[in-house]
Chains A and B, each alone.
Chain A
Amino acid sequence: MKRQILSLAAVACLVGLTSTAAAQSNSGSITATALVQQPINVSGAVNLSFGNVFPGVNKAVLLTDAGAGRFDVTGQASTPVNLAFTALPTNLANGGNNLPVSFSSGYNTSNSAAGATSFAPGSGASTSLSGTGALFVFLGGTVSPAVNQAAGTYTATVTLQVTY
């Protein structure tokens, strides 16, 4: 009986010593995530064209007119964007001669000026790209030739900046 008690005590001691010697170790994980957005692409698809104008006679091109300009925008689907015209001239130029101009603008997620939402070109706008990442920005305007406007071809550049 004594031997059994002594053996059990010895085993218990060994178990105790073993448990203190084992180092605990464990591991856990997390993920790192990121979503790289489609880059924004803005292309001048259609130039704003006033056609022939006559001295002293204003001429307007509406957003829905054939002469309206259009920018095509692509990017990350359903993502908010800011629209800003960073170059919006007050005159079209022909050498040293100027032809006063003003603009109107609108945007739509489909290529339809008729359903476009108008906004003031000088103020810009905020909207979202479509579910396929598309947006169309339409540009109209009015030229106001002077009565003594010099004949010739007048041009200027309008630049649209789109940012997330």
Chain B
Amino acid sequence: MWRRARSTPAGVVTGLCRRVVLLFCGIALWAIPGEAQRPLTVQGTRSLTFGSLLAGVNKSVLRTDLINSGQLDISGPKNVSVLLTFTLPATMAGPAGATLPLTFGSSDGGWSPPQQIGTQTGFDPRVPYTAPLDQNGKVSVFLGGTAKPTANQKAGSYTGTITLTVVVLP
């Protein structure tokens, strides 16, 4: 299959170089997965919704709440671990510069395979957390929290932005 290199000094050198290059190529190809890595995407699919609040009355949303919990869907390489890092606001912004305190507890984060909100594994969204992407390269992340309007909270609509940064771990 392989033609023998000529027995001249130049031929020996050329043959050695070719074998060395092919050896490295073999190592490199072994390191590359059998298919191109799927691109990592993070899609915010549902807002964290507290609904109507009364001044001075706290309101919590559970991460298992099918309607009001926040949800982000992650897609990427199959069967890898990803590092989840939330950027969580301490307040929501409202009318005329008013702010509404917002807190997150140690079990307000959760992840599960897609479409399985009821079988979540909880985690603390305040610190980075490692979760797996499944055999299809997917995972859903859920978020609950507590809004804490003050006794003299100004009426109106309040919003805040929650960002999830995902890194594929080696």
Find the residue from B44, B54, B70, B167 having the highest chain A CB count within 10 A: B54
- One of A2-10, A42-50, A100-108 at the interface: A2-10
Contact residues in A for B117 (Cβ distance below 8 Å): none
Q: With A and B bound together, what is the CA distance between A9 and B19 in angstroms?
A: 11
Find the residue from A2, A24, A30 having the highest chain B CB count within 10 A: A30
Interface residues of B in 43-64 (CB under 8 A from A): 43-55, 59
**Given A24-B76, A30-B162, A36-B158, also A17-B18 (CB < 8 A):** no
Contact residues in A for B51 (Cβ distance below 8 Å): 34-35
The answer to whether B92 touches A9, judged by C-beta atoms less than 8 angstroms apart, is no
Q: How many contacts A-B (CB < 8 Å)? A: 153
Majority secondary structure, A binding face: mixed
The answer to whether B162 touches A32, judged by C-beta atoms less than 8 angstroms apart, is yes
Rounded to whole Å, the gap between the CB of A12 and the closest CB of chain B is 7
Q: A13, A19, A29: which contacts B24 (Cβ < 8 A)?
A: A13
Does B66 make an interface contact (CB < 8 A)? Answer: no
The answer to whether B14 touches A28, judged by C-beta atoms less than 8 angstroms apart, is no
**Closest A residue by C-beta to B56:** A39
Rounded to whole Å, the gap between the CB of B93 and the closest CB of chain A is 10
Q: With A and B bound together, what is the CA distance between A25 and B166 in angstroms?
A: 6
Contact residues in B for A36 (Cβ distance below 8 Å): 52-55, 94, 100, 149, 153-158
The answer to whether B46 touches A37, judged by C-beta atoms less than 8 angstroms apart, is no
The answer to whether A33 touches B155, judged by C-beta atoms less than 8 angstroms apart, is no
Range of interface residues on B (Cβ < 8 Å): 35 or more
Interface residues of B in 79-96 (CB under 8 A from A): 89, 92, 94
Q: A16, A28, A35: which contacts B157 (Cβ < 8 A)?
A: A35
Contact residues in A for B164 (Cβ distance below 8 Å): 27-30
Contact residues in B for A6 (Cβ distance below 8 Å): 17-18, 21
Does B32 make an interface contact (CB < 8 A)? Answer: yes
The answer to whether A30 touches B70, judged by C-beta atoms less than 8 angstroms apart, is yes
- Given A30-B47, A32-B49, 8 more contacts at CB 8 Å? A12-B28, A13-B21, A17-B31, A25-B168, A26-B42, A30-B70, A36-B94, A164-B52
Instruction: Identify 18 residue pairs between A and B in the complex whose beta-carbon atoms are under 8 Å apart, listed by A's number.
Output: A16-B31, A17-B28, A20-B32, A25-B167, A27-B42, A28-B166, A30-B161, A32-B50, A32-B89, A32-B92, A32-B147, A33-B158, A34-B157, A36-B154, A36-B158, A37-B155, A76-B155, A79-B52
Task: Tell me the A residues contacting B by CB distance below 8 Å.
Answer: 2, 6, 9-10, 12-13, 16-17, 19-20, 23-39, 76, 79, 164
